[in-house]
Amino acid sequence: MFAQGLTLLKSRSAFGENRLSHVFSRQSTRVALRRLSCAHRLFVPSSELDAVECAGSLELPPNEQQHVRSRRLKDGTMVELFDGSGRLAAGQLACRGRAVEALRWLPTDTGATEVPSMQQVLSVSCVVATPKSTQRADWMIEKLNELGVSGYRHLACRRVEVDAPQIEKRAAVRWQHVSIAAAKQSLRRTLLDCGLADANATVTRMAHWFPSPVVTLEDLVRQMSVTASEDVVFLLAKPDARRTLASWRRAHSPVLSPSERWTSPRQVVCVVGPEGGLSSDEEDALLQAGAIGVSLGAQRLRTETAAVALAAALLIA
């Protein structure tokens, strides 16, 4: 197996002196953004990235070695490194023939390739009765990652078709790989928090509220009753609700005030029930605890479609 490594450069790179020192400002940064956005992305766990900062070199993980070989990256190819917790680095591959031996890189500002968006002022999480179909669930996790959703939990309720052990297994294996692939494609710096004790995931409010991948409806109601406020909003997908998501968004979506600060809410949790729907008493419990029922339109949507539609409506400005 070919060995690949990283060599840390300290002060200057091909981008020029301090090209990325001021993100989202002036022409030099716009040039750097265009160059980085075209780079191949490689995932390096936080522990290994820490080792690079101390030792100056490391061997790429097997999955990334396969990525480099499959892409047939050539000498001088610009690449981007991320660890899933927000840190970002840029560098250059050096190859001998078809073997990748070294990557020279310079740590960059964590905001280098992520375009300013609603994600920077509004954190959106999802609590969803995960579909039984693995393919449909993976599609949902992929799209929530691409949209910039910060946290995801499975809702254990009366009519759900998948049990907790299955969800925990999916989160630990499949969803981790799906999240990494989606982050590479979407230029996202962080990974979706699915409830795993993973050092590479960003610490979110969802992680403090619900540390495991599965949330019971009782726990959700309990947390909602003490957390729901103007700053923390729980939106319940409710087909027969009089209020539509579009009308709620027009009235409450963050807007930039004259003081250059973003107004509330700062956190939105989207709650989506199973395909059979929540029972009437489950809906009543959520609404009494502070959830706001919103309709997504006249069409009847699948669970995964409703979750993605909610996230997209909130995060795409």
The whole-number pLDDT of residue 254 equals 57
Q: Which option is the CATH number for 6-107: 1.10.10.200, 2.40.240.20, 2.80.10.50, 2.40.110.10?
A: 2.40.240.20
Residues 276 and 283: their CA atoms lie apart, in Å, by: 13
- Which of the two residues, 143 and 173, has the higher pLDDT score? 143
The whole-number pLDDT of residue 104 equals 47
Residues 248 and 257: their CA atoms lie apart, in Å, by: 19
The whole-number pLDDT of residue 268 equals 93
**What residues have CB less than 8 Å from 68, skipping those under 6 apart?**
4, 42, 60, 93, 100
Contact (CB, 8 A) for 109 and 28: no
| 279: pLDDT strictly greater than 70 | yes
Portion of the chain with pLDDT greater than 90, in percent: 32
**What residues have CB less than 8 Å from 208, skipping those under 6 apart?**
none
Our CA dihedral for 282, 285, 287, 288, rounded to 10 degrees, sits at: 170
**H helices present in 213-302, as ranges:** 217-227, 245-252, 280-289
| 308: pLDDT strictly greater than 90 | yes
Q: What is the pTM of this model?
A: 0.77
Mean pLDDT value of segment 118-128: 83
CA atoms in the 13 A half-sphere facing the CB of 248? 23
The whole-number pLDDT of residue 286 equals 96
CATH of domain 118-315: 3.40.1280.10
| 96: pLDDT strictly greater than 70 | no
From 8-12, 99-103, 162-166, 171-175, the region with the lowest mean pLDDT: 8-12
Assigned token pair, 166? 């299955």
State the pLDDT confidence band at 294, using cuts at 50, 70 and 90.
very high
Mean pLDDT value of segment 249-269: 64
Portion of the chain with pLDDT greater than 70, in percent: 68
Mean pLDDT estimate for the chain: 75
Residues 148 and 192: their CA atoms lie apart, in Å, by: 8
State the pLDDT confidence band at 317, using cuts at 50, 70 and 90.
low
Most confident of 11-15, 42-46, 276-280: 276-280
The DSSP code for 245 is H
Assigned token pair, 240? 């027969």
219-247 pLDDT, tens digit per residue, is 999 999 999 888 899 999 999 999 999 88
Q: Where are the domains of the chain?
A: 6-107, 118-315
Mean pLDDT value of segment 283-287: 95
State the pLDDT confidence band at 197, using cuts at 50, 70 and 90.
low
Listed residue (316, 239, 274) closest to 132, CA to CA: 274
Contact (CB, 8 A) for 127 and 271: yes
